[in-house]
Every structure is written in C-alpha cells, then in structure tokens.
Amino acid sequence: MAAIDISSVGKIYNGGVRAVSDINLDIKDGEFIVLVGPSGCGKSTLLRMVAGLEAISEGTVKIGDRVVNEVEPADRDIAMVFQNYALYPHMTVRQNLEYGLKNRKTPREEIDARVNEAARMLEITQYLDRKPRALSGGQRQRVAMGRAIVRKPAAFLFDEPLSNLDAKLRVSMRGEIKRLQRRLGTTSIYVTHDQLEAMTLADRLVVLNGGQIEQVGSPLDVYHTPASTFVAGFIGSPAMNLVKAELQGDKLAIGPSLISLNGYAPTSGAVTVGLRAEDLRTTSASDGMPFTVEYVEELGSQRLAHGLVGDQALTIALSGEAEITDRMQLTIDPSKLHFFDAGTGKRLEARALAKAAPTLAEPVA
Amino acid sequence: MAYTTSQPQPGGFLSRLGFGAGARKKPAVAAEEMKRVQFTSPVLPYLFLFPQLAVIFIFFYWPSVQAVSSSFYLEDPFGFGSTFVGLSNYTDVLFSAEYQSIALFTAVFTVLVTFLSLSIGLLLAVKADRVIRGASTYKTLLIAVYAIAAPVSGLIGMMIFDQHVGPFVKMMSYFGWHMQVGLNYYDTAFAMTVVAVWKQIPYNFIFFLSGLQNVPVSVREAAMIDCRSGLRRFWTVVLPLLAPTAFFLLTINVTYALFDTFGIIDVMVKDKPANNPVTLVYKVYADGFRGNDIGGSSAQSVILMIVVFVLTIFQFRFMERRVHYN
Amino acid sequence: MYRIRFTDHLILILGALFLCMPVVVAFMTSTHTAADIHSNGLSLAWGDNFIATYEKVLTQKGGFTGDITGARMVMNSLILGIGFAVGKIVLSMLAAYAIVYFRFPMATLSFWVIFTTLLLPLEVRIMPSYQVMSDLGMLNTYSGLIVPLLASATGTFYFRQFFKSVPEELLEAARIDGAGPFKFFIDILVPISRTMIAAIFIIMFVYGWNQYLWPMMMTTDESFFTLMRGIKSILQVWVGSNIPDYNEAFALAILAMLPPVAIVVIFQSWFIKGLTESDK
C-alpha cells in the first residue's frame, strides 16, 4: 500500500496531439480516487500512464517513494482491472488468478493461500476450475477483481470495470468494489464516465475535461460547489440547469423575471446561473419565474418537468405527488444559486455567502 | 526491454489491394491501426522475422531477380555461358504469332472461367442461403470437391471427355458433335474450360454464401418492408452488400484462371501442346523446362509479372469506386 | 417471407450433381477392370475389382526404375503436406508476432518485403526458382520440395490478422502480470491461437498435398514422387498403350483426392471459418 504522487504529468502523442496536460494529484495511502469525465477527456490515458502502459511524456509519477516513470508495469506493484476483463481465455479461473504470482516466483503454498482467500472473498470458489467463457459477465468481473487482489499490490487501477455489465449488476458490483476497497484499504484509482458511479465510489472525485483537471474534491463538495459550468453540467442527475442571466445590482434577471438576491450577487453584468432541478420550488404567488411545461418524466418517487423560462430550457424535480400544470411559477432560495462567469464558465463566489442567512427569494414588486 | 506505445502505422498497400488469403471480404479496410501497446527490443523482432525473411530472400527475391536479369541474356543451350541480347528476348516473344495466339486464348479462357464460375457460384449460394430443408446437405455436397487438386480434376475431366470411354463424348455424339479432346483445338478448349469452372465453383460458393449470411437479418427485414419484389431486393440491397466479396473473388478467380489451372492444362494436353490450347503460364514452363530456352522463358515470366501487377492496380482502381464497403 | 420454390431445390440438386457426379463416377469406375472400362465406358455401378485395383496401385512397384509404389507416393505426399503446414505455421507465426507485437525501425520495410510475395505466384518464376534449387543442390530432397514453397506470405497474413483481433488488454494484463515477450508468446498467444493454428494447418496441409508443378520439376528421382507427380507419370506411360489402365489412374486420383475431400467435409466449419473470417 502506498501513496501515489502525480506531478505535472502530461501526455503528447507522436504527431503532437496533446491528450493530457499538467496534472497534479496527491493520492493518499488507502484513498479511493475516481477520475471522471466524458470520453476523450484523458482519464484513461492518465490511468494508463500510472500503470505504465503509456509512456509518460512530461512530469513524474511516484508510487510510494519511488519514481516509476521508467519502471516496467509488472514492477510497479500495481494491479489493473480492465473494462473487458482481459481474462486469459485458455486458462481456468484458478490459473488466471495464479499467473501473475507464478511469474513472480511466489512460493506454491503462498499462491494457493492467496488464491483461496481471494476466491472466498469474491465468492467464486466454486468456479475456480472453469474457463472464463463458462462464466457470466458478473462472475468474470469478480475473477478480474480477484486477479488484482491476489497480487496484494500497492494500488488498484480500475479502467471502467463495470461498463460491460447490465444496469442492475452494475449497482451491486459497485457496492462490492467499495466494500472490498474499504476492507483491504488499498489505494485505488478508478476511471469512469458514469457520474453516478463516480459519486458513489469516490473518496475524492477528479473531474477531467480536455486533458485537464476541472475540479478535485469530495463527491458532495463537487456536487454542491461545482468549480465550472462543465462540472455543474456533468455531475448530478438531472444535470444542473445552466441559464444565461444578467445581474442588475442585487437583482438577477432571467429572461423576463427578476429575482432578488439578498446580497448574494457576486458581480454584475452577464453571468451563467446554475440551478439544481431539486432546488427549484413551485409557488402559488403570481410573481415567480413563469415556467411553461413542455413534458413530464415520471420517475416514480420524483416527477421531472421539462419546460421553458423565457426562451431557455429548464428542468425541475418535484415530489411524486406534486401537481403539475401547463404554466407554473417558480422560485428558488438565492443561496442555492450558482454563478459562473459567462465567458470562462468558472465559478463566481457569492460575496454575501458568509453573512446572509438564507431566506426565500422575494418576488420583485 | 522498454515498453512503448505506437502511433497508427500505414497498413500494407497489398492488403488494401485485396491480395492474399487474409484480405477476404473487406479488401479496402486492412489498414487498421497497430496495437496500442507493443514491445520494443533491439534484437527479438529480427530474430523472429529471420526465418521467414531468409526463406523469402532465397526462394522469392533471388529467383525473381534472376528472372529479370536472364530475360536480357541468350543462354547457350549447352551451358557455355550466355550473351547479353538486350530486349530481343522480349521482342522475339511478343512478335511471335504463336505467343500472340496463346495470349489470346489465355484472355478468353480467363474471362470465361471467371465469369462462369462466379455466376454459377453466386446462383448456388443464393439458393442455398434460402432453403431450409436439406441446407447443410446441399452445402456439404457443394463444397465437397473444393480441395481437389488441379491435376486430379484434369485427370477426371480427361476421362469424362475421353474419346473412347468418356460419357460426355458419347452423349454429344447423339447430337452429332464428335468431340476429339486432345486433338481438336476447340474441343480441348471447351473441355478445359468446363473442368476449370467445375473446380472453382465450390470456392466461389463458400465465399458468396458466407457473404450472404453476413448480411444482417435486420437489413433484410428492412428491405422486405421497403420492397415487394424479391428480385429487386436482391439487386438493390443484397448484391451491393455482396460487392466486397465479389470484388475479392474477381481478383482470386482471375489469378486462378491464369495460374492455378496449370495442373488441369498440363494433364489434359497430355504432353502434346502442339495443336492444343495452352495458357501463358504453361508456355513459360514448356519453353523453359522442356525447350531449354531460358532467356525466352524468363522474358515471358517478366511479362506475366507485369500483367499481374497491372491487373491488380487496374482492378483495384476501377472496382474500388463501385464497391460499397460495409 | 420468401417462399421456397421447387426450382430452388432443382437448381441446388443440379449443382450438386454437376459437382459431385464426376467424383462418384471416378470412384465407381476405379472398381472395374481396365478391360471392362475399355469396352463399356465409365460406370456408375460398383464393380468387383476394388480390392485388386487398390492393392495393385498401393503396393505394386511401378515407374521406369520400378522402385515407387502407391503407398510410397502417399507417404511422400503426407511428408510434403505436413512438412509444409508445420513449416508455414512456425515461420509465419513468428514473423506475424514480430510485425504485430513489436515496434522496431524496420517494421514497415519487413512488412513490405514479406507481403510483396503475394504479388507473384510461384508459376511465373518457376524457371529461375528451379535454377536456384539446382545451384543449392536441393533437387530431389524433401527440404527442396518443402522449403521454397514457404516463401509466401499467406500464413503470415492469416496470423497477422488474427493477432490484430486479439484484445489489446490481454497483452496489457499479461504485462502487469509480469510476462515478457517470450512468456506472452508461449503462455498466452500460442494457446489462444489453437483454433487458428488448427484451421491453418488443414488449409496448408491441403495446399501442400495438392502441389503439382513444383514437385514435378524438383523430383526426378522416383522415390520422391508424390501422388500428384504419380498421376503425371501414369499418364506418360499411358500414351500409346492399347488398353490404358483407366482403373489404376482413377484409383490414384481417388487416393489423391481422399484427404482433401475428407478434410473439407469433416472440418467444414473450421475450414470455412479459416478461409472467410481471417480478416476479422
């Protein structure tokens, strides 16, 4: 077990394409880090550089106290779980688990002990003598995990390990990975494009976009204070509403409606405002934001109403029983508003955040 | 040993031409990316390549270069050296009436064999793809003779067309056609073509059938909804999807008719090529090996090499545009 | 739904008859005596000379020097077929491994050097090849029969395509498990190529077994004759004889086609897979 220190790491492919640039990340011993972002954001490349499957073009990667830039993947003391499992199809489950240990000349009794322990932990003992093709997707996934566990590595690297599984299995395997990681306490880096998976697994989330880090933080930090419109739109479901608006003194103009901010305005002029669907409330007062409903998605426990404020799309989340009419008035607690620079998309901190107690937005007279 | 990544490398020109056993159905898409991760080692790849390269250099490049060089020399029949004669081997060959008539026969033979074996193979594949009852029996029967060697087919053909015992000859004589295979030029040509087509049908059948079965069921069903006429569906939907297979097979069949029919021809002309039709390859062999005309034979080899090369480029250039690769 | 018509079956039946009848006729006729064939023509009925004919073909010493039997020719054909198939697999697997799994400066050049051989069939360079063999003193040897035929890229092509279809993660997982180039090849790549190797083996065996022109030129010593070469010489003897040995010629043809036909029928699915799916 070890800490992983990624400093100023970048990847430039032959031909000059830059996949990753200037990544700095201190991963503590035993921490579960999730790299999340859309496809092509460089998350897999970063993971593969840590694994040693991609050459590191710039910067250094340290595992423990050792710089591993030039170290063979087999000697980095890591284990990796692949998206398509990458089990050796001609070997039995047991042989798959043993292969890495055998190559390291681990003593026979030690191999048996570790394989049996891992098999018990993953409940695959009865499959040890089967070939991978005789296993279901979930079982193969367990074997792939087992192959990582028996190695007792300093770090686990997961490359979208659950994306080949169906939705239900994905949820249960997700829980299992979390449980195992807690139990073993092994430092882990996990790559996914699924924000829900990222939220539920991570000690710390690293949101990547275009080869750069957008934000690092605990799942709730990232959820509640997204550092940019990109993060705001990526994390959370339904995605945060992002609308163009204008700050006029202490008032916020969204289309035709004005919201009083009670001193929360961070700046003035054009901004992008983020509103979480669940933070929006309906009001019976006639002077909220006028919202025209276009269609409703029923999720059972929730109803998602999609529609327009002015000419901008907006989604609100209401409780399962809430009544929805074609035209509604919306209101929001100004402290729940997120402000982003209209040009750069970076977060603007509300000035009054510390002093003012949250009050309901007062409709503008 | 270090461990590096690679960038995409240009794939082989040849594979894109649809050459070789591997480039079956999709001749134009063989230029895939290489492995993302590869080994690097100063010695190992050369070590692994060495046996193959050694064999190729000794038994392919050396003879090929020799063919080109000896085509410019006149070899003394008794082995006392050779004289440089420039292009005269080529002019002798190209202006000889015999060579010209053989070249003409080769062209006609190639076109006939390619056309007939492709169309019969396609017809059988389309039918075999449709039937359900007995499908596997038909399939087995239709491909069973696939791997019979050319000289064996030639031998069987020779018997079927034998003047004394051949059933086909007997049958034809009722219609007033007294075949004299081996003696009459056209009768021999007819028999050779039939045997050559017979031998090649199973090959085309296999590929067309596999091509047909690779047409996704959903595409067929969509076509079924969009178009009522089965024949029209075949022409407008299935055949375009088969085009890559057909293109590949065209190359293979032309190569087959030009070169692989040697065994059939050698057996069927019974060592008496004088008044019988033969192909250019047979002449290369006959002049060089039997006639001991090394220079002339080499010049013919080089001409054939050029023909193969031009044909390849030609086929690729012209066919590529009309073929829908899926 | 498409309705299957009577004509569909008719066409298939005619096609099957056209393709298979000559073989059936050849086999049936081979069970008659030469005189019987000479007077009655080819036959579709079973004769009573089966054992005599095949025994004679397999064991009687024939040829000009009289030291070659049918059995010997079968053995030579087997040696050529198996030797060629094994040699092909070993050479082309190694070469394809180097080309697909290694990064080295000469990779593209090597690829070209190997794949250019697909352009020119043996037939067009037959004379100079013969000269080279004669210079190397390899006429009338098994290695002279087999090795020059290995100078083509077909097998390399098959394996290259196959290796490229092997998931990348397998190599990556093996690297993390501590496998180097040799270990990866032996422990992972060869075992997962087993089906491919088997398919290529039978394809190449048939190819070697069916060789005609090359053995005909390379072997003048009758003890090296293969079945294909034997067919040639039985026809040479034939010219000018009163009652040709039709039955023996047919029996030889049946022996020569037996392994290829059996392989194609028995390993049908493998064979088709190996042929048509090598580009995946």
CB contact under 8 A, B149 and C260: yes
Q: Which chains touch C (3 or more CB pairs under 8 A)?
A: A, B
CATH of the domain at C73: 1.10.3720.10
pLDDT tens digits for C198-232?
888 988 999 999 999 889 888 888 888 898 888 88
Half-sphere exposure of C93 (CA within 13 A, CB side): 19
- Residue B152: the pLDDT is 93
For residue C3, being part of any structural domain is answered with no
Q: Which residues share a beta bridge with A159?
A: A191
* Complex ipTM value: 0.86
CB A192 within 8 A of CB A198: yes
Residues of C in contact with B45 (CB under 8 A): 98-99, 102, 104, 106-107, 110
A145: contact with C, CB 8 A cutoff: no
Q: Is the pLDDT at B80 greater than 70, yes or no?
A: no
Sequential DSSP letters for A7-32: EEEEEE-TTS-EEEEEEEEEE-TT-E
Q: Tell me the three-class secondary structure of C34-89, residue by residue.
A: HHHHHHHCCCCCCCCCHHHHHHHHHHCCECCCCCECHHHHHHHHHHHHHHHHHHHH
Q: Is the pLDDT at B1 greater than 60, yes or no?
A: no
CB A332 within 8 A of CB A281: yes
Task: Say how many CB pairs under 8 Å bridge B and C.
Answer: 345
- Residue B112: the pLDDT is 96
Q: Is the pLDDT at B9 greater than 60, yes or no?
A: no
What is the residue range of C102's domain?
A: 17-276
CB contact under 8 A, B12 and C112: yes
For residue C101, being part of any structural domain is answered with yes
Q: How many domains does chain C have?
A: 1
- Residue B3: the pLDDT is 36
Closest partner residue to A72 (CB to CB) among B3, B5, B37 is B3
Question: What is the biggest distance separating any 2 CA atoms in chain A, rounded to whole angstroms?
Answer: 81
Round to whole Å and give the CA distance between B171 and B160: 11
pLDDT tens digits for A188-236?
999 999 999 999 999 999 999 999 999 999 999 999 999 999 999 999 8
Whose tokens are 């270069």? That residue is: B65
At A92, the pLDDT band (50, 70, 90 cuts) reads very high
C52: tokens are 């005599």
Distance from CA of B47 to the nearest CA of A (A): 23
Q: Angle at Cα B18 formed by Cα B17 and Cα B20, nearest 5°?
A: 115
CB A260 within 8 A of CB A334: yes
Distance from CA of B40 to the nearest CA of C (A): 5
Round to whole Å and give the CA distance between B55 and C93: 14
Please state the CATH superfamily assignment of the domain spanning residues B2-33+91-322 in this structure.
Answer: MetI-like (1.10.3720.10)
Q: Is the pLDDT at A365 greater than 80, yes or no?
A: no
> What's the DSSP call for residue B96?
-
Distance from CA of C10 to the nearest CA of A (A): 43
Residues of B in contact with C128 (CB under 8 A): 62-64, 66-67, 70, 298, 301
Residues of C in contact with B166 (CB under 8 A): 41-42
Q: Is the pLDDT at B215 greater than 70, yes or no?
A: yes
Mean pLDDT, residues B101-119? 95
Domain borders along chain B are 2-33+91-322
Q: Report percent pLDDT > 70 for chain A.
A: 95
Q: Is the pLDDT at B186 greater than 50, yes or no?
A: yes
C42: contact with B, CB 8 A cutoff: yes
pTM of the model: 0.81
Q: Is the pLDDT at A346 greater than 50, yes or no?
A: yes
- Residue A313: the pLDDT is 92
- Residue B27: the pLDDT is 33
Q: Is the pLDDT at B6 greater than 60, yes or no?
A: no
Q: Is the pLDDT at C238 greater than 70, yes or no?
A: no
C27: tokens are 């086999």
C210: contact with B, CB 8 A cutoff: yes
At B237, the pLDDT band (50, 70, 90 cuts) reads confident
Mean pLDDT (chain C) is 85
A73: contact with C, CB 8 A cutoff: yes
Residue of A nearest to B6 (CA): A14
Residue of B nearest to C173 (CA): B37
**Residue B107, burial from CB neighbour count under 10 angstroms (0-12, 13-18, 19+):** middle
CB contact under 8 A, C173 and A74: no
Residues of A in contact with B1 (CB under 8 A): 72
Round to whole Å and give the CA distance between B266 and C229: 12
CB C273 within 8 A of CB C199: yes
CB contact under 8 A, B301 and C128: yes
- Residue B10: the pLDDT is 30
Q: Is the pLDDT at B273 greater than 80, yes or no?
A: no
Round to whole Å and give the CA distance between A52 and A21: 17
- Residue A360: the pLDDT is 43
